[in-house]
Amino acid sequence: MTDLPGGGLARGLLITLRTLGRRTGTQQYPDAQPVLPPRSRGVIGLLEENCTVCMLCARECPDWCIYIDSHKETQAPAVAGGRERQRNVLDRFAIDFSLCMYCGICIDVCPFDALFWAPEFEYSEYDIRDMVHEKDRLAEWTRTVPPPPAHDPNGAAG
């Protein structure tokens, strides 16, 4: 059909006629919220209690879009006569989503599961300078993370 002059046009018209009677798949987004698959990846959330300020996420980020500030606090000895310990305390944890390419390397390298994929996807801003989200906003997104799937005792991969 394409060997003849106008064959491509005829094939295009045939495809158009076949799809003319089908229902459209368009969803009216702001009015109708999309149904997302479980465990979908939207934005990165932070569980602040698990963060030990090891800085692995910031070091491994290819875009350098994670900003972490911390300070050290001295803790009293656990037992009498013991020595004092120092502990890192997280002051600032921010991600610049205008730079982030959503590769997930920061989530993969975190040894303490402080970072998660959250299914939120509505976090746009009118000004690009407002795309830097601090730890309080990142912690809000962690609440929307669904629990992981149940463990399969038979060991079958799914």
What is the tens place of the pLDDT at every residue in 73-103?
A: 998 888 888 899 899 999 999 999 999 999 9
- Residues 99-148 have pLDDT tens digits of 999 999 999 999 999 999 988 888 888 999 999 999 999 999 888 888 77
C-alpha to C-alpha distance for 130 and 125, rounded to whole angstroms: 6
Q: What is the CATH number of domain 42-77+84-147?
A: 3.30.70.3270
How far, in Å, are 42, 78, 90, 128, 155 from residue 48 at the CA level?
A: 19, 23, 8, 25, 32
Are the C-beta atoms of 94 and 67 separated by less than 8 Å? yes
The amino acid present at 131, given as its one-letter code, is M
**Secondary structure tally for the chain: helices H, strands E:** 4, 5
Q: CB-based contacts of 72: which residues, under 8 Å, 6+ apart? A: 86, 87, 88, 89
Q: Which tokens go with 34? A: 């999309």
Domain ranges in the chain? 42-77+84-147
